Amino acid sequence: MMKYILLICLSLVSCNEEDEAIIVTDKFNKEHKYNRIPEENDNILYCQLHYEWETIKYYYTKEGIEYWMQILK
């Protein structure tokens, strides 16, 4: 009986791919942590490092995508 309880607890606690946080670095080389990748411009996501809602804009450069985050007011 105890091993079944343990299996149930482990299955409830196990990490899910959706639960993994995404680290995004902005154009000022500052890290932000979100629960998903910002996929569209003017996205509003909660930053888990700064504990604030942020508006995310991005643009394409020769080096790749650069992000610009602004605190939502």
pLDDT at 38: 86
Give the DSSP letter of residue 26: B
pLDDT at 30: 95
* Per-residue model confidence as pLDDT tens digits over 14-63: 444 455 889 999 999 999 999 988 887 778 999 999 999 999 998 899 98
Total count of domains within the chain: 1
**Per the domain annotation, does 11 fall within a domain?**
no
- Residue 44 tokens read as 């509003």
**Per the domain annotation, does 24 fall within a domain?**
yes
**Per the domain annotation, does 36 fall within a domain?**
yes
**What is the span of the domain harbouring residue 65?**
17-71
Model's pTM, two decimal places?
A: 0.66
**Per the domain annotation, does 39 fall within a domain?**
yes
**Per the domain annotation, does 10 fall within a domain?**
no
